[in-house]
Structure 1
Amino acid sequence: MLHTSFSRFVTVFHGRTAPEPGTLVGYGAVIEALQLPVPLPRDIALISTKRRQYHVAGWRVFTPRHAPLDTLWAHLVFALKYEGLDLLFFKKLFAQLPAQAIEEWVRRAPQSRYARTLWFLYEWLLEQRLALPDLTRGNYVPVVNEQLQYAAVTGISIPRQRLRNNLPGVVSFCPLVHKTASLEQYLARDLAGRAQHVLRGLHADVLVRTSAFLLLKDSKASFTIEGEQPAPTRALRWGRAIGQAGQHALSREELLRLQQLVIESSRFVRLGYRTEGGFVGEHDRGTGDPIPDHISARWQDLDSLMNGLLAAAAYLETAGYPPVLTAAAVAFGFVFIHPFVDGNGRVHRYLIHHLLARQGFTPPGIIFPVSAAILEHLPTYRQVLERYSHAVLEFIPWQKTADHNVEVLADTSDYYRYFDATPQAEFLFDCVAYTLEKTIPQEVAYLQRYDALKAWLDEQFQMPDKLVAVLIRFLEQNQGVLSKRAREKEFALLTPEEADQIQRQYALHLVE
C-alpha cells in the first residue's frame, strides 16, 4: 500500500468531466488507488498543467507547484492542507493501513501538524493506542483547519499530540461542514439578530397571534411533506409540540415521546427504535422486491448511533458551533439514520426547531416555520436528502427479506456517523432565511393590516369579532368581493353602498 502509485492523469473521473486534463491528487487519488469504500469528495482535487488555481462545481484545480510527491504520506498531507478533514475516509483508510506506517511518519516528523493529526485521528477513530510516547514540546494546533471547515470554538486540549480537538462532535457522531461562500455570507448576515429586529416593538397580541399562525403553518406543512392531510386537532397537537421545542433536553425518552405524538395510534406501527431493517423507496410491482433510494442504518447499530447523535447534540449546544450548522448536522443525521419505523421525517424537522431554540437562535416564543419553507422548496429538499443517500448506497450490502424489507449484511454505522453535512447546512440556511425574510414579515404585516381593517369596521359598524372574521374570510375566498349570497344572508343588514365601501377598505388594507 505504501508503495502504490496514487497520482493519475484524468480527463473524466467516475462520470465527472474534468474542467481540463490534469493529475488526480489528494483524497480522490487515494480513494481510487486503494479502492476505499467511501463516496468521492464533493470537490475532487486536480493538478493543472497550467499555472492557475480555481474552483468549479465538483473540482478544485491547483497549479503544478502544489503537486505532491506520489506517496501516500504526501497525498494525505495535501488532502489535510487543501481539502480539509474527511473522517469517513480516514476510518476506512486506517482499517487497511498498518499502525507502523503512522508510527514511522510521526517518528520522522514529530513536530509536523499533519503527522500529529494523523496520529490523533488514528487513536481517536480506532480507539487504539499507538506505540509512541507523548509529545513534550511544540505549539498546540487545531485538528480542524478553520480556514476550510467549521469547528467547535471550545476545543479540548490533547497533551499527547499537543493538539486542540475542535471537532464539532464526538467520536460516535461527527459530521463536518466545509466553509463555502454561501454559508459565509449567511453567517455574516446575522439572521438571528434580524429576527429580533423584525419582531421588536410588536404589540404583544400581534406577537402571540403570529406565533400561533407559524406553529400551525409549520405543523401542517410537516405532515404535507409526508403526503398526509391530518385532522385539524392532530395538526394543532403537533403544532403545540413544536411550540415546546427547546424546553426539554434531548434523550431517547424524549424522542420516543415525540414519535408517539406524531403517530398517535400504534395499532399498525411499532413505536420505538426499529428492530428490523428499513429503507426509503419503492417495491417492484411484480415481485414486491424492495427498490431502495435510501437504506436506513442497521437496526443493531441504532443504540450506538443514536447515543452518539444525542451526545454530539448536547456537546454542540455549548461548543460555540453555529446553531444552523448544529441543526443541520443533527437533524439530517437523524433522518439518515432513520431510527423509527414511522415518524422520522416529522421528528427530524422538530429537531431543527429544538436545536435552533436551545442555542438561542430563535427568539423566545417564536419558531421559524422551517417545514413550510421546505414545502416551498420540496424538490431541492429531496435532492439534498438523495445527495447523501445515493452516494453511500453502493457501499451498503443488503439482501431482501421474506416480508419484502431489507437486511443490512455488515456494520455500516460509519456512513451515518461521518458524513459531509455541507449541502444540508446550505439548504437549511436557505430555509431559515426564507422564513425570516418572507414568511414572518408577511404574517406580521398581514396581522397589522387585519387589525387596521378590524378597527375601521368596529368604528363604522360595531361588528363583533366573530362576524369580522367571517366577513374577512368571505372576502379572501372571493378575491375581495362580497358575494351575492353573503350580501343576502350573513350580511343582509348591510346596504349595497356599505358593502361596496367594505370591499374598498378591504382592497386598501389587505390586498397587496
Structure 2
Amino acid sequence: MRNVGYALLQERLPITAVPVACPALVQPTTRIEKIAHTLAVPPKLAPDADDLLGNVLFALKHEGINLSILAQVLPRIPAIELEAALKRSPNGVYIRKACYLWEAFIGKEIEQHAPVRGKFIQLFEPAQYITRSGARNSKWRIEFNGLGDLTYCATVERSPAITELLGHDIPGRARAFIGSLPPLMMDRAIHWAYLHETQDSFAIEREAPTQDKSRRFIQLLRQAHDRQPLTEDYLVALQNSTVTNPFDLAAAFRHQQNHLGASGIRGAAGISYVPPPPELCRELMESLMRFANEAPTQIDPLVAAGIISFGFVFLHPFMDGNGRLSRFLIHQALCRAGALENGLLLPVSVAMKDAESLYLKTLQTFSRPVRDFWDVQWIDADTITLDFKGSDALYRYWDATPCVLFTLQMAKHALEVDLREETAFLEAFDTLYKAVDERFDVRGSELSKLVMMCLSNDGVISKNCRKQFQYIASEEVFDFIEQAAQQGLEARRALLDEDHTVEPPTERADG
C-alpha cells in the first residue's frame, strides 16, 4: 500500500502542512471509496508516485481543495508540464483549477493553446464545502467561492453534523423565543444572558471579573448591536476595554512574538501554541477583518462567527485579551448579520464553560499540528527563542470545520438549554414568590432571597438557611415554600422533557 494525492505530496516533498484527515491510500479495491478514515484507491486509478501534477489533479478531483498543500506544491511544478496537460484537455475542470491556482501562487502566467470554453466552474465544490459568491477569473472561467480569498481562506466541509445543525436556524429560533416572552420577562432574560456571558467568558480564562471589569465587558457586548465594522483601531479599543492592567493595553496589533503555555509544564514542552510571526499576523488580520465585515450577511452567520472567532484566536493579534475578544466576535458577527434583535444575546460562553474539554479539543485541531513547525528553545522563564520552520500557508489556509461545528453546537445549547432554563427559572421564581406573598406576610427583599435560595437548592431550604431567616419567617413559611417549589420544579422538568431533550455535545471535534 502507498499514499496517493495529498498524502503522497506531503510524504514526498519538504512541505509543511497539517496532515490530511482522510488520506488517499492504494488498496485492493475495485473503486475509489471512503473506508473508515482513508480514501481507498484501486491500483489502476492511482497516479505514479513520481508524477506530482498527476497527484495534484487526482487530489483536486477526489479529495477537494487543500490550499495549504497546493500553495506549496504547485510552485514546484514547471509551467511546461501544466501547459502540456492543458493542451491535452483544454477545458478540463481540474487542470483549469490547477493552472488558476498556479498563476495565483506564482504571479506568472501559463500559456493557453486555445481559450477555455464553456460555463464558469466554482473552485470549491458547493456539495462538499460551504461557499459564497466570489471573484471570477475569465481566463480560466473559474469563480473563487471560498470563505476568504487567496491571502487568507478557511474551509468548512458540509459534514452531516454541520448540515443538521444549520437546518435548525438557531438565530431565527432565538429571535422567536425571545419575542414570545412578555416584555418584562424578556428584559430579565436578556439581562441574565449578558451577566452570565461575561462571567463565564472570564471564567474560561480562569479569571474572576471585578465589578468594574464585568460592567465594561457588558458594555462591550451591547456595543456589538451597533454593527461597527472591524478595524485595527476598533479592535484595539475593544482590547483596551477588557484589560485592566495598564501594561497590557495595546496600541496596535502586536509587534512581537507571543505564545501560549500549558499550565504546570515547564520548558519548551510547556509551549502549547505559537501564533504567526508579527508581520504575517498583521497581514492576515487585514484579510480576516475584511472577511468579518462581509461574510456574516453572505453565508450563515454562525458559520461566519465560528471562522472569525477561532481565526482571531489562532492569529492572536494582541499580547493579552485575545480569548475574551474571540468569543465577543461570535456575538459581533451575529449582530452584523442582523440575526439578533432587541439587544438579544446568545450566551455561548455559558455553553462553552460547560464544555471546556471539547472547546480545548477544538482549539487543538489546529494548534497542535502547527506547534510542530516551531523550534522552541527554552533558556529560562524570561528567555525563550521561537523559530518558525513552516510555511506561511499553515496560517493562511486552514480547515475550520471542527471550529464551526463547535460554534453551532454551543449556540444550539445556549438557546435550548441555558436561555430556556433561565427563563423557566424566572417563571418559577415569579410563580413561587406570588404564591407565598399572597398567603404570608414576609418582607419583599427577604422573600426574594428565600425563594431564590430554595429554587437554587433544588426546592429545599437548608438548615443553615432556616437558621439564618428564623426571625424573618416561620417554619410554616419555610415548609410552604419548599412544597410549592418542589411541585413547580417537578412540573417544569416534565414540561422541559416533553418539549425537547438536549444532551451535552459529545461529538468529536473533527466532525
The verdict on a shared fold, with TM-score over 0.5 as the criterion, is: yes
SS in 2 for 1:303: helix
Offset at residue 56 of structure 1 (A): 5.0
State whether residues 296 and 334 of structure 2, in contact with CA within 8 Å, keep that contact through their aligned partners in structure 1. no
Offset at residue 488 of structure 1 (A): 6.3
Instruction: Give 1:147's aligned amino acid.
Output: A
Q: Structure 1 residue aligned with 2:436, among 457, 478, 497? A: 457
The residue aligned with 2:57 is 77
Distance 1:410 1:32 in 2: 17
Larger CA deviation: 69-78 vs 198-207: 69-78
| C-alpha spacing 1:61/1:357, structure 2 compared with 1 (3 Å) | farther
Q: Structure 2 residue aligned with 1:443, among 422, 440, 444? A: 422
Provide Cα deviations, 1:324-382, integer angstroms capped at 9, x if missing partner: 22122221111111111111111111111111222234454221111111111111111
1:273-284 matches, within 5 Å, as 273-282=253-262
Q: Structure 1 residue aligned with 2:459, among 461, 480, 483? A: 480
| C-alpha spacing 1:376/1:499, structure 2 compared with 1 (3 Å) | closer
The residue aligned with 1:350 is 328
| C-alpha spacing 1:224/1:314, structure 2 compared with 1 (3 Å) | same
Instruction: Give 2:71's aligned amino acid.
Output: K
- RMSD of the TM alignment (CA)? 2.8
The residue aligned with 1:48 is 27
Instruction: Give 1:328's aligned amino acid.
Output: G
Aligned length: 488
SS in 2 for 1:419: strand
Residue 139 of structure 2 corresponds to residue 168 of structure 1: no
1:401-412 matches, within 5 Å, as 403-409=382-388, 412=391
Provide Cα deviations, 1:63-108, integer angstroms capped at 9, x if missing partner: 5565345532332222112211011111111342333333333333
Larger CA deviation: 85-94 vs 239-248: 239-248
SS in 1 for 2:254: coil
Q: Gaps spanning 5+ residues in structure 2: where?
A: 494-511
Provide Cα deviations, 1:414-450, integer angstroms capped at 9, x if missing partner: 2211011111112222212211221111111111222
1:372-383 matches, within 5 Å, as 372-383=350-361
State whether residues 24 and 45 of structure 1, in contact with CA within 8 Å, keep that contact through their aligned partners in structure 2. yes
Distance 2:152 2:205 in 1: 27
| C-alpha spacing 1:366/1:346, structure 2 compared with 1 (3 Å) | same
The residue aligned with 2:365 is 387
The residue aligned with 1:4 is none
The residue aligned with 2:123 is 143
Q: Structure 2 residue aligned with 1:234, among 213, 223, 235? A: 213
| C-alpha spacing 1:132/1:266, structure 2 compared with 1 (3 Å) | farther
Provide Cα deviations, 1:301-342, integer angstroms capped at 9, x if missing partner: 222111011112223133x32222212222111111111111
Distance 2:489 2:218 in 1: 26
1:285-324 matches, within 5 Å, as 291-318=270-297, 320-324=298-302
Q: Structure 1 residue aligned with 2:168, among 167, 186, 189? A: 189
The residue aligned with 1:120 is 100
The residue aligned with 1:92 is 72
Q: TM-score, normalised by structure 1?
A: 0.87
Offset at residue 219 of structure 1 (A): 1.1
| C-alpha spacing 1:158/1:505, structure 2 compared with 1 (3 Å) | same
| C-alpha spacing 1:48/1:322, structure 2 compared with 1 (3 Å) | farther
SS in 2 for 1:340: coil
Distance 2:164 2:456 in 1: 40
Distance 2:379 2:106 in 1: 32
SS in 1 for 2:21: coil
Larger CA deviation: 463-472 vs 216-225: 463-472
Residue 323 of structure 2 corresponds to residue 341 of structure 1: no
SS in 2 for 1:267: helix
Offset at residue 477 of structure 1 (A): 5.7
SS in 2 for 1:296: coil
| C-alpha spacing 1:217/1:326, structure 2 compared with 1 (3 Å) | same
The residue aligned with 1:365 is 343
Instruction: Give 2:157's aligned amino acid.
Output: H
Instruction: Give 1:474's aligned amino acid.
Output: M
Q: TM-score, normalised by structure 2?
A: 0.87
Residue 137 of structure 2 corresponds to residue 158 of structure 1: yes
Distance 1:27 1:174 in 2: 18
Larger CA deviation: 391-400 vs 341-350: 391-400
Distance 2:347 2:447 in 1: 27
SS in 2 for 1:194: helix
Distance 1:189 1:135 in 2: 45
The residue aligned with 1:38 is 17
Q: Gaps spanning 5+ residues in structure 1: where?
A: 1-8, 10-22
Offset at residue 151 of structure 1 (A): 0.9
Distance 1:382 1:498 in 2: 47
Instruction: Give 2:353's aligned amino acid.
Output: L
State whether residues 74 and 102 of structure 2, in contact with CA within 8 Å, keep that contact through their aligned partners in structure 1. yes
Instruction: Give 1:233's aligned amino acid.
Output: D
Distance 1:196 1:106 in 2: 52
The residue aligned with 1:264 is 244
SS in 1 for 2:68: helix
SS in 2 for 1:245: helix
State whether residues 284 and 290 of structure 1, in contact with CA within 8 Å, keep that contact through their aligned partners in structure 2. no
| C-alpha spacing 1:240/1:58, structure 2 compared with 1 (3 Å) | farther
Q: Structure 1 residue aligned with 2:83, among 97, 103, 115? A: 103
SS in 2 for 1:504: helix
Distance 2:464 2:154 in 1: 59
Instruction: Give 2:362's aligned amino acid.
Output: V
Instruction: Give 1:148's aligned amino acid.
Output: Q
The residue aligned with 1:420 is 399
State whether residues 9 and 73 of structure 2, in contact with CA within 8 Å, keep that contact through their aligned partners in structure 1. no
Distance 1:25 1:411 in 2: 23
| C-alpha spacing 1:57/1:437, structure 2 compared with 1 (3 Å) | farther
Larger CA deviation: 119-128 vs 418-427: 119-128
The residue aligned with 2:509 is none
The residue aligned with 2:508 is none
State whether residues 134 and 160 of structure 1, in contact with CA within 8 Å, keep that contact through their aligned partners in structure 2. no
SS in 2 for 1:175: strand
Distance 2:88 2:220 in 1: 57
Task: Work out the percentage of aligned pairs sharing the same amino acid.
Answer: 26
State whether residues 283 and 291 of structure 1, in contact with CA within 8 Å, keep that contact through their aligned partners in structure 2. yes
SS in 1 for 2:194: helix
